[in-house]
Structure 1
Amino acid sequence: MDLQVGDLAPNFYLPSVQGDNFLFENQLEKYKGSWHLIVFFRGSWSASCIEQLTAYEQVKEQWAKENLRIIAISSDNLDDLKRMAHEEPFTFPILSDEFFSVIDAFGVYKQTRTVKEELSVPHNEPAHYLINEEGKIVYIQKQSAPFGRPLPRDLRRTVGYLKKAKTNSTSQN
């Protein structure tokens, strides 16, 4: 069963490039009242993904002031993601889900890429999930190919719209 808007986001526990293990419920508790953008990206080998994560890094501080936190997850192994994090100045959590447990729980699409003629490697496709302060999914954007991802300004507008809609529906009750 795929997750739907309105569902509680599943809790997850994954290793991070920062050297610790990341528990989503701890993130929700630490940043109580914040929304979270969970970005599933193809991997450290994808130039499009690096470009997208770089765009998110550039708006991270502004988004934090607006109570929006970024978490990035890939099926890449932890060593590859650590190399990427060493080369790129990402300061938000970057997590490895090389066994696809969280990717499958969220219903993210998967593909296989050929690394060498004799080696095919599975990976996840891009996806974005906005989780509100209550831990509920309020926006889902999944892709079956690498292109067409939302830009930071699009996501910021979406968050603004959803927060305003929530405020309006609360005030009308």
Structure 2
Amino acid sequence: MNKTPLTIAGAEALRAELHRLKTVERPNVIAAIAEARSHGDLSENAEYDAAKERQGFVEGRIMEVEGKLSNAQVIDPKLLDADGRCVFGATVTLEDMDSGKTISYQIVGEDEADIKLNKISVSSPIARALIGKYAGDVAEVQAPGGVRELEIIEVSYI
């Protein structure tokens, strides 16, 4: 199986979610199932059905997060030595050649991508256009509104 890149922050967030699922969610679901069972007939017990469905979701998510963590290749952006090149974990400051607007993005794993926090997935069109380029290069990104040209102003590893 291929290793999935994750930043240290992304790996920590997944570990925290796994801990919460195992120590809070799982016991809550078990208690809800026990409570629903105490009401008697299970064939027409909506609380029991809902609790069992929730249990299936929680157990599935635990397996999914454990799988992601076991296949993760954790990368610390501060330790990267990419000689100014855009790579996974890098924070890239860009200028839109059409509008002149400047924005910074960090290239992260798919699970940690959040555009509100300026974190883009390594598999996104923008990140794919940036990977391997240096400050001063212009990346052409295929956007829904047509091709956008983004000049790389700075590449940092923070």
TM-score, normalised on structure 2? 0.23
Q: Whose helix fraction is larger, Structure 1's or Structure 2's? A: 2
TM-score, normalised on structure 1? 0.22
* Higher-RCO chain (CA-CA 8 Å, sequence separation at least 6): 1
